[in-house]
Amino acid sequence: MQKKQENTGVIWFRNNLRVQDNQSLTKAIENHSKVIAVYFFDPKLFKIDSFGFQKTASFRTKFLIETITDLKKNLAALNITLLTYMESPENKMHTLCDEFSVGTIYTQKEWTREEIATDNFIKSTLPETVRFVADYDQFLYHPDAVSRDFSKIPDVFTIFRKKVEKTVAVEKECTVTKLSERNLIETETAIPSMESLGFSDTKTHAKTAFPFKGGETAALERLQYYFFESKKVSFYKNTRNGLVGTDYSTKFSPWLANGSLSAKTIYWKIKEYEAEFGSNQSTYWVIFELIWRDYFKYISLKYNAKVFRIGGILEKTYEWNTDQKTVQQWINGETKDAFVNANMIELKETGFMSNRGRQNVASYFAKDLLLDWRIGAAYFESVLLDYDVHSNYGNWMYVAGVGNDPRDRKFNTKMQADRYDQNHKYRKLWLEKTLF
């Protein structure tokens, strides 16, 4: 057993807001006799972006506050104190390291442009004695096992999926041990309120398909319910294109997006469920969707900033327009398409929308209205509870014809509505005054 370092290990939480299966947490506890944790409510996350949207609007902000509140409680159960600041990490981390005699910062490895800039700035302010350890901790299939050269990641999902399923094993979850109560410290830091971040408190909409709270505790409760209590997972493939209610899909995505639930935890719970109740296409299909999530992360690793450019990873040139009135009609659910409108109103009112809905409204935005797809992606970033930079931009590129869709398809929203909302139940739910 290795000797623990006397200096302090700090876990800098980002989009890994959990104690179960958290590599940074595990390493800090293993390597240090003193451990603290920190989360920054970075003001940059709440600013207006270049398209005029607040990067993190009210729904995701409330979910984040709930998540950090839960994280603080779960860390306290391990006798680890969570410090919270309404500051940019690059402005605070070096003083934190001085104050607590920090030897190593442990965090989740990021690779998109804003996160890299933050990392580099932090490193430039730290003394040479402080180590910075960043680990990939948001994948189902760990990058070290997938490829040493991300430029070789296939541009077609099916090729990627078949390769990883055949050659890469999913690692076991990380485990943690409880520290002594002596590890706890006094802190005057506090988790901000919605009001202190500039929002009025957001009420949960009565019609929402996602009425759940943020945080690891709620995530694990949902996992237990969807698998072992209701056994809905055995019917997932048949219901996943639903539009109404809490149980047509897993609803894991918001917790996955901020890392309060790990992909590996879901995977091993599925394996546990299959061992007890049997496997079928539906149990596999949840894993299939996790592989899609991984895939967009690998595409982001391969193409880097190209995923944010108008030509996408294909560098295609289309005639996009940016008419603000048309964009606003799409946002408000005031287009000529009732199915699109219903989905957009659901998103605006709840911060959530089904996968089927997202494909349709994004296709309509890019292929029917011919609007710059990056505007739609930026709006989704602002309001979606489950915004994930890689999946969001990967999916928007895909439907806009500048990404990983080899067929460059366009959704016929009328046919989609007839197929998936045959009885108009969904449209009536969100367009109450509309006659059919």
Cβ-based neighbours of 324, under 8 Å, separated by 6 or more: none
- Together in a domain, 15 and 78: yes
Helix (H) or strand (E) holding 34: strand 32-40
Q: Is residue 192 part of a domain?
A: no
User: Would you call 22 helix, strand, or coil by DSSP?
Assistant: coil
Q: Domain for residue 184, yes or no?
A: no
CB 139 within 8 A of CB 107: no
Q: Residue 1: its pLDDT value, please?
A: 52
Tokens standing for 122? 């932090």
pLDDT digits (tens, 9 = 90+) for 390-421: 999 999 999 999 998 867 789 999 999 999 99
Residue 180 has pLDDT above 70, yes or no: yes
Q: Does any domain span residue 121?
A: yes
Q: Which of 241, 273, 305 is the last residue of a domain?
A: 305
**Rounded CA separation 424/307 (Å):** 36
pLDDT band at 4 (very low <50, low <70, confident <90, very high): confident
Side chain identity at residue 218, one-letter code: A
Mean pLDDT of 63-69: 98
CA distance 53 to 330: 14
Question: Is 364 marked within a binding site?
Answer: no
pLDDT of 260 higher than 50? yes
How far is Cα 73 from Cα 147, in angstroms, rounded to an integer? Answer: 37
251 and 360 assigned to the same domain: no
- Looking at residue 2, its pLDDT comes to 63
**Which of 270, 305, 340 finishes a domain?**
305
Provide the 3-class DSSP secondary structure of residue 353. coil
Structural domain range at position 265: 138-172+214-305
* Mean pLDDT within 339-352: 98
Identify the pLDDT of residue 130. 95
Q: What is the CATH number of the domain that holds 423?
A: 1.10.579.10
Are 56 and 155 in the same domain? Answer: no
Ordered strands of the 32-40 beta sheet? 81-85, 32-40, 5-12, 102-108, 131-135
pLDDT at 333: 98
Are the CB atoms for 107 and 14 separated by under 8 Å?
yes
Mean pLDDT of 428-434: 82
Residue 252, annotated as binding a ligand: yes
Tell the residue number behind the tokens 């995701």, with chain if given.
60
Give residue 282's pLDDT.
98
Task: Give residue 358's pLDDT band: very low, low, confident or very high (50, 70, 90).
Answer: very high
Kindly state whether residues 284 and 405 are assigned to the same domain: no
Does residue 336 contact residue 427 with C-beta atoms inside 8 Å? no
Q: Does 93 map to a domain?
A: yes
Residue 435 has pLDDT above 70, yes or no: no
157 and 260 fall within a common domain: yes
Whose CA is closest to 136, among 109, 111, 162? 109
Q: Is residue 198 part of a domain?
A: no
Q: Is 418 annotated as a binding residue?
A: no
Q: What end-to-end distance do the CA atoms of the chain give, in Å?
A: 70
Question: How does the average pLDDT of the chain come out, rounded?
Answer: 95
- Rounded Cα distance between 219 and 228, Å, is 14
In this structure, the answer to whether residues 157 and 288 fall within a common structural domain is yes
Query: Would you call 334 exposed, middle or buried from its count of C-beta atoms within 10 A (0-12, 13-18, 19+)?
Result: middle
Length of the chain: 436
CA distance 183 to 79: 6
CA dihedral 237, 259, 158, 210 (to 10 degrees): 30
273 lies in the same domain as 258:
yes
> Tell me, what CATH number does 103's domain have?
3.40.50.620
Local structure of 261: helix, strand or coil: coil
Residue 196 labelled as part of a binding site: no
> CA dihedral defined by 286, 287, 292, 298, rounded to 10 degrees?
150
249 is in an annotated binding site: yes
Report the alpha-carbon distance of residue 41 to residue 213 in Å, rounded.
Answer: 19
For 301-328, what is the mean pLDDT?
95
The tokens describing 421, both together, are 């909302």
Six-digit token string for 14? 């980002």
Q: What pLDDT score was predicted for residue 3?
A: 73
Answer whether residue 207 is part of any domain: no
Instruction: Tell me if 226 is assigned to a ligand binding site.
Output: no
Among 265, 285, 305, identify where a domain stops.
Answer: 305
C-alpha count within 13 angstroms, C-beta hemisphere, residue 15: 23
380 among the known binding-site residues?
A: no
The whole-model pTM stands at 0.96
Q: Report how far apart, in Å, the C-alpha atoms of 68 and of each of 93, 179, 255, 260, 309 are.
A: 18, 20, 12, 9, 32
79-135 tens-digit pLDDT: 999 999 999 999 999 999 999 999 999 999 999 988 999 999 999 999 889 999 999
Question: Is 301 in the same domain as 409?
Answer: no
- What's the confidence (pLDDT) of residue 434? 42
Give yes or no for residue 229 having a pLDDT over 50.
yes
